[in-house]
Homo-oligomer: A and B are copies of this chain.
Amino acid sequence: MLSKENFKRDLSLVREKSPLVHNITNYVVMNNTANALLAVGASPVMAHSIDEVADMASIASSLVINIGTLEKSWVESMIVAGKTAKTRGIPVVFDPVGVGATPYRLKISEEILKECSPSIIRGNASEIISLVRAGVKTKGVDSTAAADDAISSAKELAKQTNAIVVVSGAVDVITDGERVERIYNGNALMAKVTGMGCTATAIVGAFAAIDTDLFNAAAYGMATMGVAGEIAAKSARGNGTMQLYFLDALTNLSTMDIDKVFTC
């Protein structure tokens, strides 16, 4: 079960060290992702050119890859950056946005899994299920195709990839294939704000940058999202103010807020 003391320590570490988080992410969320990372205390950088991604990944403390608005030249850069991160031993956090929507997203996600060996994968239930089924198909293992819930898919994906897998939703699930942590914080209005999932992936990237225990880093990142979302929802009146009040809540997140985390 998540240690609130260690979570508090890690939040302080993020703010103190302000780790550089290198994002190759989608156009829709770049502004909010950068602001969320700044709010939590990290230092964001967005860079995608093939001419500099290896250099940028070389000075970063973690790398976030997000395929929300992918295209050929960006994918090439994702893989170069991912390989650099892998070589350097910094964590790669992968967000397979909409992986089930088109064959291209699935193909690229499989390529990223293979080439960059992400340390953490975060998606919603549909994405995680799509991804593990693809893995299954690729490997010709029929049994798992019957997986009918996100938790078993997440466990299976974690085993296939050796990554920590996070399924975000009303209840967030974090698993390494064996252990399962559930976080019950959050608010339904979060799902009405575009890119909240992408923000979660980036925040997980911030914790992964300062804690080598990536299971815990993922859990702290998701708990941060949940608690900030609850605080924001108290005064938000729609998805417009929700987006902004969420950033405010992240900016001001206190150890007392962390005490509100509800896990099991």
Q: Which residue of the partner chain, among B30, B46, B192, B248, contacts A239 with CB atoms under 8 Å?
A: B248
What is the CB-to-nearest-CB distance from A159 to chain B, in angstroms, rounded to a whole number?
Answer: 29
| Chain B residue nearest in CB terms to A37 | B194
Q: Which residue of the partner chain, among B39, B44, B71, B238, contacts A248 with CB atoms under 8 Å?
A: B238
**Complex-state Cα separation, A69 to B20, whole angstroms:** 16
Give residues 220-253 of A contacting B (CB, 8 Å).
236-241, 243-252
The reply to whether A195 and B248 contact each other, CB–CB distance below 8 Å, is no
What is the CB-to-nearest-CB distance from A254 to chain B, in angstroms, rounded to a whole number?
Answer: 12
Q: Which residue of the partner chain, among B38, B55, B72, B195, contacts A194 with CB atoms under 8 Å?
A: B38
Q: Which residue of the partner chain, among B32, B48, B59, B252, contacts A69 with CB atoms under 8 Å?
A: B48
Give residues 2-40 of A contacting B (CB, 8 Å).
26-32, 34-35, 38-39
A126 contacts chain B at the CB level, 8 A cutoff: no
Please encode chain A, from 52 to 68, with 1 for each CB lying within 8 Å of some chain B CB and 0 for all others. Answer: 10011001000000001
A193 contacts chain B at the CB level, 8 A cutoff: yes
